[in-house]
């Protein structure tokens, strides 16, 4: 987020490796769109029309976000910053000069001292956006000190309120005007992000438990407002001075696991309707030439993606600024490395890097498939560097061509007396006079208008087949609400179950990974709570389909929905009854000496570096085989796959 000198952001993969990938042509066309795109753009909608144009809550269907009717809702958003804190961390906190861009936000959305809420929202409608990313800090939640009267001079109805109560009022105004609101936990403390500021991780300045509890509190607070549509879990997770965040190690710095747990708690304890928005890792390593460092972004999700307890609620997020790069923090002078910035790249190079780091997420039919929301990007109205200007044009072209959900940083700022964020789309001086992209010459206007009015898919989005991965790397992976509500079906073992409505279709020989889907059958399970835990060959009826191996076969009329392990060894198979007759013709799929998957590997790479077995999309898994012979670790060696009908 934000300005160059105030942040030290983010990334992984070497530039050489990134650029070796397939380039996206500079002339890339927009995706195929239905005829229904010929309708008024958001910029032509009044507040009342915007409010009537969609119904919450929102969900994810494949790569698209949809509203309660299943119609595509593209997040055309901007960030309304301030409530996350603006103090830079040095000097007198009461002096605006010590706040980012000279703007003392008093830990509430910027601009309430200069323009009324109706005036601010009127400008947002003119910009053509339909949604707001609304940052907050954990400190703001617990701050009981009323904001100064001067901080809400243009909105006297907010006098005497705490920052959280002002935040409430802003949400009420936004959603009442038809905007969707995404809550964004930006910082732990009310200090401007994003360097070495005590806000590097969700748990840098607080415990993970407190962070999760605060999220449950916030989600419950707005549960009845279905235009509060998402929980953006944490902003720009990055390295502290001493250590890095990671994606899947299972320790206290594991962003993958923390996001999974927080998302599940929000959906089960607070509000089952919220989108759970998970940003990639923004920076690891020490930014110095010769040392490993970079911005992983969403690349780890290729092989380890999230499976939430409620399907259709996952959105992935990424941030891009021209002055940063895949291995460049964005620093100038001290701390600057010789890695290229995004704005140093050619158009084709930029497009290839973007695809590699984040945009692959929207590939349909993968375990990682989800909507991608570029929840921060931006540039300054006073920017004169030709490379920076070219980057902004190229980047917005890429967003438009890929029909990508987006959120500009920031929507509003101050102006006058050398103060104010030049990145803001609209700015207000102390007398309430507005300037910016709506009111005069602004070199960003052409790119912004192209992005806002670009053709987008609209109308109904069909429910696609779902693919989700299971990982027992560090803990249970019981992704079924129905099974979570029951007893421990294999005490002492690590257990994995598919999300409700899916079936187990693939397993890894080692690594304890699994793949689930509903393709070809939809929800295959009967409505009842019954299940069978299979620990031996009691139900084998198909002959010796894995000669010399121990076979855990489901009873007749049941299919594999989960499994358990002790260490790396198979412990049990979880079988559940089907709602209709199942086919009985079967085959053995061996994967003890190599991969054995359908052509194209539907569902994606769910067990990177390990042999994998997978039934076809018109089959179900009915059994697991393994061996306990000397030298074996009793890991899965074969699957019994049968036709669905």
Q: What is the pLDDT of residues 69-81, one digit of tens each?
A: 999 999 999 999 9
Average pLDDT over residues 237-254: 96
Q: What is the pLDDT of residue 36?
A: 32
Q: What is the pLDDT of residue 188?
A: 95
Average pLDDT over residues 183-201: 92
Give kind and range of the element (H or E) at residue 52. helix 47-52
Q: What percent of the chain has pLDDT over 70?
A: 93
| 632 pLDDT tier (thresholds 50, 70, 90) | confident
Please give the Cα distance from 36 to 215 (Å, whole number). Answer: 38
Q: Which residues pair with 294 in a beta bridge?
A: 284
CB atoms within 10 A of CB 346: 13
> 423 and 378 in contact (C-beta within 8 Å)?
yes
Token code pair at residue 616:
């076809």
> 7 and 89 in contact (C-beta within 8 Å)?
no
CB atoms within 10 A of CB 61: 18
Is the pLDDT assigned to residue 132 strictly greater than 90? yes
CB atoms within 10 A of CB 538: 10
Q: What is the pLDDT of residue 44?
A: 56
Token code pair at residue 595:
């991969």
Query: Mean pLDDT lowest for which of 17-31, 359-373, 378-392, 509-523?
Result: 17-31
Please give the Cα distance from 399 to 396 (Å, whole number). Answer: 5
Is the pLDDT assigned to residue 19 strictly greater than 80? no
Average pLDDT over residues 389-407: 98
Q: What is the pLDDT of residue 12?
A: 28
Q: CA 273, 277, 281 angle in degrees (round to 5)?
A: 160
Q: Which residue has the higher pLDDT, 411 or 5?
A: 411
* Residue with the two structure tokens 């899947």: 248
Q: What φ, ψ does residue 348 adopt, rounded to 5°?
A: -65, -40
Is the pLDDT assigned to residue 2 strictly greater than 60? no
Token code pair at residue 545:
């389909």
Query: Whole-number mean pLDDT of the chain?
Result: 92
| 495 pLDDT tier (thresholds 50, 70, 90) | very high
* Residue with the two structure tokens 């002339």: 27
Is the pLDDT assigned to residue 22 strictly greater than 60? no
Token code pair at residue 541:
């009826």
| First-residue to last-residue Cα distance in the chain | 52
Taking 3-state DSSP, the helix, strand and coil percentages for the chain, each rounded to the nearest 5, stand at 20, 25, 55
> 305 and 368 in contact (C-beta within 8 Å)?
yes
Can you state the angle between helices 386-401 and 347-357, rounded to 10 degrees?
50
Q: What is the pLDDT of residues 35-90, one digit of tens each?
A: 333 333 445 578 889 999 999 999 999 999 999 999 999 999 999 999 999 999 99
The predicted model scores a pTM of: 0.93
Give kind and range of the element (H or E) at residue 392. helix 386-401
Is the pLDDT assigned to residue 225 strictly greater than 80? yes
Please give the Cα distance from 61 to 466 (Å, whole number). Answer: 9
* 421 contact partners, CB below 8 Å, separation of at least 6: 2, 3, 100, 101, 103, 410, 413, 414, 427
Q: What is the pLDDT of residue 509?
A: 97
Q: What is the pLDDT of residues 439-464, one digit of tens each?
A: 989 999 999 999 999 999 999 999 99
Give kind and range of the element (H or E) at residue 127. helix 117-127
Average pLDDT over residues 292-308: 97
Is the pLDDT assigned to residue 210 strictly greater than 80? yes
Average pLDDT over residues 566-572: 96
Is the pLDDT assigned to residue 603 strictly greater than 80? yes
Average pLDDT over residues 184-191: 95
CB atoms within 10 A of CB 463: 14
Can you state the angle between helices 445-453 and 386-401, rounded to 10 degrees?
10
Please give the Cα distance from 280 to 361 (Å, whole number). Answer: 11
Q: In what order do the strands lie in the sheet with 638-643?
A: 550-553, 619-626, 638-643, 586-590
């Amino acid at each position: 987020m934000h300005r160059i000198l105030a942040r030290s952001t983010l990334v992984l993969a070497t530039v050489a490796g990134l650029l070796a990938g397939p380039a996206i042509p500079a002339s890339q066309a927009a995706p195929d769109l239905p005829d229904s795109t010929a309708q008024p753009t958001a910029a032509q909608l009044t507040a009342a029309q915007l409010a009537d144009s969609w119904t919450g809550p929102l969900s994810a269907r494949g790569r698209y976000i949809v509203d309660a009717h299943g119609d595509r809702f593209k997040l055309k958003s901007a960030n309304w910053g301030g409530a996350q804190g603006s103090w830079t961390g040095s000097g007198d906190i009461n002096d605006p000069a010590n706040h980012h861009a000279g703007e003392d936000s008093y830990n509430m959305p910027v601009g309430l001292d200069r323009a009324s809420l109706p005036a601010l929202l009127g400008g947002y409608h003119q910009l053509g956006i339909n949604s707001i990313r609304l940052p907050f800090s954990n400190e703001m939640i617990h701050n009981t000190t009323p904001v100064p009267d001067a901080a809400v001079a243009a909105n006297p109805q907010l006098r005497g309120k705490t920052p959280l109560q002002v935040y409430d009022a802003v949400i009420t105004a936004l959603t009442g005007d038809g905007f969707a609101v995404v809550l964004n936990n930006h910082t732990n403390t009310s200090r401007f992000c994003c360097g070495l500021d005590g806000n590097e991780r969700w748990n840098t300045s607080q415990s993970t438990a407190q962070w999760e509890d605060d999220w449950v509190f916030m989600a419950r607070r707005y549960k009845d407002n279905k235009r509060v549509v998402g929980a953006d879990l944490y902003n720009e997770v990055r390295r502290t001075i001493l250590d890095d965040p990671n994606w899947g190690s299972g320790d206290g710095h594991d962003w993958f696991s923390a996001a999974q747990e927080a998302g599940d708690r929000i959906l089960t304890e607070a509000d089952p309707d919220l989108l759970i928005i998970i940003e990639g890792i923004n920076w690891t390593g020490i930014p110095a030439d010769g040392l490993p460092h970079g911005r992983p972004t969403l690349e780890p999700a290729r092989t380890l993606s999230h499976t939430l307890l409620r399907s259709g609620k996952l959105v992935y997020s990424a941030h891009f600024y021209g002055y940063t790069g895949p291995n460049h923090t964005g620093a100038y002078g001290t701390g600057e490395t010789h890695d290229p910035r995004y704005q140093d790249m050619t158009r084709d190079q930029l497009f290839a890097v973007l695809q590699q780091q984040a945009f692959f997420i929207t590939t349909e039919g993968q375990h990682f498939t989800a909507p991608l929301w570029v929840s921060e990007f931006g540039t300054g109205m006073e920017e004169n560097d030709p490379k920076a200007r070219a980057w902004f044009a190229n980047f917005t072209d890429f967003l438009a061509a890929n029909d990508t959900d987006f959120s500009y940083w920031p929507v509003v700022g101050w102006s006058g007396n050398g103060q104010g964020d030049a990145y803001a789309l609209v700015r207000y001086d102390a007398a309430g006079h507005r300037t910016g992209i709506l009111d005069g010459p602004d070199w960003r206007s052409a790119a912004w208008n192209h992005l806002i009015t670009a053709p987008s898919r609209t109308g109904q989005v069909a429910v696609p087949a779902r693919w989700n991965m299971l990982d027992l790397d560090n803990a249970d992976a019981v992704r079924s609400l129905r099974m979570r509500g029951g007893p421990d079906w294999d005490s002492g073992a690590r257990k994995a179950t598919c999300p409700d409505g899916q079936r187990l279709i693939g397993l890894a020989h080692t690594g304890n990974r699994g793949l689930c889907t509903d393709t070809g059958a939809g929800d295959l399970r009967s409505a009842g709570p019954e299940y069978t835990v299979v620990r031996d060959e009691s139900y084998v009826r198909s002959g010796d389909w894995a000669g010399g191996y121990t076979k855990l076969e489901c009873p007749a009329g049941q299919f594999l929905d989960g499994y358990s392990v002790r260490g790396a060894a198979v412990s049990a198979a979880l079988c559940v009854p089907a709602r209709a007759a199942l086919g009985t013709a079967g085959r053995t799929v061996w994967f003890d000496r190599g991969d054995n998957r359908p052509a194209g590997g539907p569902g994606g790479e769910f067990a990177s570096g390990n042999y994998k077995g997978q039934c076809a999309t018109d089959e179900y898994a009915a059994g697991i085989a393994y061996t306990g012979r000397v030298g074996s670790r009793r890991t899965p060696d074969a699957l019994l796959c049968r036709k669905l009908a």
